[in-house]
Structure 1
Amino acid sequence: MSSNPAPGAEPSSVTATVVVRSVPLPVEGGLLSYLPADTPHDELVSWVRRGDGIVGWGSALTFESSGPERFRDAEAWWKSVAARAVVRDEVAVPGSGLVCFGSFPFADDSAESARLVVPSTIVGRREGQSWLTTISLDPQLPRLETPVVAREPEPPADVAFADGRVSPADYAHAVAEAVTRINAGDLDKVVLARDLVATASGPIDPRWLLQRLADRYENTWVFSVAGLVGATPELLVRRDQGLITSRVLAGTIRRTGDDEHDLALAASLARSSKDLEEHEYAVRSVADALAPHCSSMNVPESPFVLHLPNVMHLATDVAAVSADDATSLTLAASLHPSAAVGGTPTAAAIELIAELEHMDRGRYAGPVGWMDARGDGAWGIALRSGAYAPGDPSQITLYAGCGIVAGSDPESEVAESSAKLIPMRDALASD
């Protein structure tokens, strides 16, 4: 079943009853190993970090919406689904029971649609407890079929890379123009992105990409929703029984592979006025957006340096206590676009992105994650990611972006964007 309202229209109410059953299930090995082979790439979903999370496949329900009201429409549809659901949850932990996965376009005027997916099968694990969830439209309780570890995915063959809509030279020119606008006082910060197209000689198995990303980037959330695949280090928001958390990343430096040199680079990043300024804008935008929904909030005075295999980021973990019944998706919508992916002031930055980027970001840099029937869930920012070409599983477009402030240098930003493309480029390699 699917629903596809016109932009800004009220989503049609859900007439079918969703029947859900969650039971304990011993899970041996990694969650990603249960994703079945030969399943369409856009029917595999994932939200996994350090072995915990949820993965799923099949499609019990889907929903699409676009335009400025995409978040509101999706929330209304999900509440309608949850209101009619029959749920037997023998596990009762975050991620069990009725769950949807979602991803949303970055821009209001994107040609892409927001996607919500309710898989027919979910396998989850949290803090040593694992489970199986089966979801169907059958009025009887779903039949439980114990999932098995799937065969290993094959690597992509003959992968070739080509410039997308924004070449490195185009990107350098856009950065230079952005710095000119910032120095003229038009805005304080803007995040500009570029793309890279990867094409293989046959279908690219998303399970290969997910496993490679999970193995190499354990500090990230490895995600897959409706053909968007990646590993994000940035948690936009998590809502868990009244506790709200958000991880803000802004300010980046590329690693060299020399541990001693990288420690020195980390120290320089922590002192960099340019990067600290960029980071402050991002943290302030998150705290301001969350404040109306929170009774208390803790924002550390100084960021820490998050070490990833390819880059290091300035990072701040914001924690707050919920003061209302706003769902995790409502919170994600209020945070999007944060200064970490848009800029400051937001309106001016979004306008400049539309002018200078010359591409549709699609769902890159938009919220991606999951939510349960109570509204708890986790949403990241779709960074370090790639989107499959519609109808062509052999092609995927990779994206990366950088925060531009007054002190930004065009060639340095091109190099930083190249570093941010490395996770997905390496995931596509066969060695």
Structure 2
Amino acid sequence: MNRKLTDRVKKTLPINANARFFTETVEVETLSPLAFFEAGRSDYGDHRFFWQNADNTVKLVGIGRAAVLTADTERFQSISAQWKALCGGLIKEEKDMDPVLFGGFSFDPETRQDEEWLAFPGAYFTVPLFQLKIKNGKTYVSINYVTEEAEAAAEFEALRQERDRLTHIAEVEDFTIQSKPALISQTEIDTDRYMDAVGKVTSQINKQIAEKVVIARKIKLTFEEDFQQTAALNAITNEQQSSYHFGLQIGADMFFGATPERLVEIKNGQAYSACVAGSIHRGKSAKEDQQLGEQLLRDKKNREEHQYVVDMITEVFTEFCTSLRVNKTPKLLKVRDIQHLFTPVEGTLAEDMDIFRLVEALHPTPALGGVPRKTALEIIREEEQMDRGFYAGPIGWTDAAGNGEFAVAIRSGLLKGNEAYLFAGGGIVADSKPDEEYAETWVKFRPVLRALGGSLHE
């Protein structure tokens, strides 16, 4: 690929009426998504993403950037409008896959911005230059190219050659996952402040200022050398196989994780969500695991916490959908370290609605913010005193046809060279106890801690 074209396609292009959006897809032999992700490291390592849904039926990788959409105010409406404007200039054949827009929103843009999150704006989405999609057992690689030039044939031909080069690397070259670097330190950050916040929030709830508030905290890992992004994604996908896996790289920083919680999915006009709230650890035996699950299903605190989420998501779906299906009682959702109460919700999406409107209406759910939402957010800003960044925010994708899926970015961490910041929280209600809430956060830290080689707290 010539240097002139490389420099041009790496730039962020303004979205305006003159921009044309070309996409072209080829089907290829099955290849590893992580191998394709790694194939782009040397030339496109500053702008990559990875996505794998919970049942492994959809896998996405993006390399480079054809366009970047950002917003700090009216975030959801702005990203939606920018995406619609960009797709208005889309030129594709029927056989080509719909181009994908991938990214996420910070949890709350009104909180202070801590230094570790400086690379991440309030909303960040990217259209990849090269897009891998594995769906229903078939593997596709697409080129996405946004240009204002009247003649783009020569540049697009160069992109075809680059696509073939990257695909060849992923198919045939040795793909070595680097070993985890040695851990130098594992530091809890402001634990006393977290414990104090839980006590103060519990007091406010008992005074009926709020019904539930989610309070989170963070820890920091420092390694002997930089942690390879592909190695982190490989570890987390192996550790938490029934979760949604994601990685969003901006510059040298990558936000990644394995979350059990879908926020919303739209597929052919049907909208799906999952109410996930209330949790307990896994048992050491199948019998103990069953007993703990039954205890969770009977537990008044957890059932109330879960019902807050069910009521809120049902209310949103009632507004945005023409029909609705909600289970009357929760099930158990079991992942490696923890089991949750889980209630699926499904509806037929009304016309003129898109995934960003649903995401805006649903975020944050009571499982990540609290009840009532506005009051809970005010308490979080006052008492938590931490920038969550993209932790607990919506992360996911949509395509030019309006399909897409967003998950809630929990069980996650921010990888920065030889450092990593991990985040975890829990719902505080009237009978919450700081020591018990603190212990619960360690259960939620475990997936990313284990993936990075950190030491598990007992």
TM-score calculated relative to the size of structure 1:
0.91
Superimposed CA distance per residue, residues 34-62 of structure 1 (whole angstroms, 9 cap, x where no aligned partner): 21253465522111034332112112211
- Confirm or deny that 1:16 pairs with 2:19: yes
CA distance in 1, matches of 2:334, 2:405: 22
Match of residue 292 from structure 2: 265
Task: Provide, for residues 240-275 of structure 1, a one-character-per-residue CA deviation record: whole Å limited to 9, x for no partner.
Answer: 111000112100111243222111101100110000
Q: Which residue of 2 aligns with 1:44?
A: 48
Residue 209 of structure 1: how far off its partner (Å): 1.6
Q: Quote how far apart the aligned CAs of 1:66 are.
A: 1.3
**Matched-pair contact (CA < 8 Å) for 2:185–2:223:** no
Tell me, in whole angstroms, the C-alpha distance in 2 between the residues paired with 1:51 and 1:191.
Answer: 30
Q: Is the 8 A contact 2:77 2:356 kept in 1?
A: no
Tell me the CA shift for residue 78 of structure 1. Answer: 1.0
> Do residues 175 (structure 1) and 198 (structure 2) align?
yes
Q: 1:199 and 1:17 mapped to 2: Cα distance?
A: 44
Count of residue pairs brought into register by the alignment: 414
The structure where helix makes up a greater share of residues is 2
C-alpha contact 1:24 1:90 (8 A) present in aligned 2: no
Query: 1:166–1:359: 8 Å Cα contact kept in structure 2?
Result: no
Q: Residue 82 of structure 1: which of 87, 107, 129 is its match?
A: 87
CA deviation map 1:320-352 (0-9, x unaligned): 111122111221111111111100000110001
Query: Which residue, out of 229, 233, 249, partners 2:276?
Result: 249
- Tell me the SS of whatever aligns to 2:216: strand
1:344-403 alpha-carbon deviations (Å, 9 max, x no partner) = 0001100010011111111111110001012210011111111234xxx22221111111
Q: 2:242 maps to what in 1?
A: 219
Q: Which amino acid aligns with 1:98?
A: P
1:415 aligns with 2:425: no
Q: Secondary structure at the match of 2:247?
A: strand
Q: Which position in structure 2 is the counterpart of 1:105?
A: 106
Alignment CA distance shift 1:158-1:253 (3 Å): same
Structure 1 contact 156–202 (Cα < 8 Å) conserved: no
Normalised by the size of structure 2, how large is the TM-score? 0.85
Gap runs ≥5 in structure 1: 4-10
Q: Distance in 2 between matches of 1:166 and 1:44?
A: 32
CA contact (8 A) 1:249 1:279 kept: yes
Note if contact 1:41-1:205 (Cα within 8 Å) is conserved in structure 2.
no
2:357 corresponds to which of 317, 321, 330? 330
* d(CA) in 1 for partners of 2:418, 2:248: 17
**Mapping of residues 22-421 of structure 1, within 5 Å:** 22-28=25-31, 30-37=32-39, 38-39=41-42, 42-49=46-53, 50-52=55-57, 53-67=59-73, 69-90=74-95, 96-110=97-111, 111=113, 112-113=120-121, 114-137=123-146, 139-140=152-153, 141=156, 142-143=159-160, 144-145=163-164, 146-147=167-168, 148-149=170-171, 151-163=175-187, 165-167=189-191, 169-226=192-249, 227-389=254-416, 393-421=417-445
CA distance in 2 between partners of 1:89 and 1:396 (Å): 43
Q: Percent identity?
A: 29
> What is the alpha-carbon distance in structure 2 between the residues aligned to residue 411 and residue 14 of structure 1?
56
Bigger drift between 176-185 and 253-262 goes to 253-262
**Secondary structure at the counterpart of residue 418 of structure 1:** helix
Q: Distance in 1 between matches of 2:259 and 2:36?
A: 21
Cα distance change on mapping 1:206 and 1:257 into 2, 3 Å: farther
DSSP-derived class of the 1:136 partner: strand
Structure 1 282/430 Cα, relative in aligned 2: closer, same or farther at 3 Å? closer
Residue 306 of structure 1 deviates from its aligned partner by 0.7
Separation of aligned partners in 2, 1:159 and 1:90: 48
Distance 2:405 2:276 in 1: 16
Quick check: 1:23–1:89 contact (8 Å CA) kept in 2? no
The 1:279–1:134 alpha-carbon spacing in structure 2 relative to 1, beyond 3 Å, is: same
Q: Secondary structure at the match of 2:62?
A: strand
Q: For residues 102 and 362 of structure 2, what CA distance do their matches in structure 1 show?
A: 18
**Equivalent in the alignment of 2:12:** 2
Letter in 1 for 2:12: S
Q: Report if aligned partners of 1:290, 1:334 keep a CA contact under 8 Å in 2.
A: no
> 1:268-318: per-residue Cα shift (whole Å, max 9, x none)?
001100000000001111111222110011111111111111011111111
Cα RMSD for the two superposed structures: 2.1
C-alpha deviations, 1:399-426, integer Å up to 9, x for none?
Answer: 1111111122211111111110111111
Evaluate the alpha carbon distance shift between residue 108 and residue 298 of structure 1 in structure 2; reply closer, same or farther with a 3 A threshold: same
SS in 1 for 2:134: strand
Q: Greater CA deviation, 313-322 or 123-132? A: 123-132
Q: Is the 8 A contact 2:202 2:428 kept in 1?
A: yes
Unaligned runs of 5+ residues in structure 2 are 1-10, 114-119
- Bigger radius of gyration among the two: 2
**Residues 87-115 of structure 1: CA distance to partner in whole angstroms, max 9, x if unpaired?**
23525xxxx32111011111031434111
1:46 maps to a residue whose letter is: F
CA contact (8 A) 2:316 2:361 kept: yes
CA contact (8 A) 2:185 2:221 kept: yes
Name the SS of the counterpart of 1:18 in structure 2.
Answer: strand
Alpha-carbon offset, residue 430 of structure 1? 9.0
Deviation at residue 136 of structure 1 after TM alignment: 2.2
SS in 1 for 2:92: strand
Using a 3 Å threshold, how does the CA distance of structure 1 residues 257 and 282 change in structure 2: closer, same or farther?
Answer: same
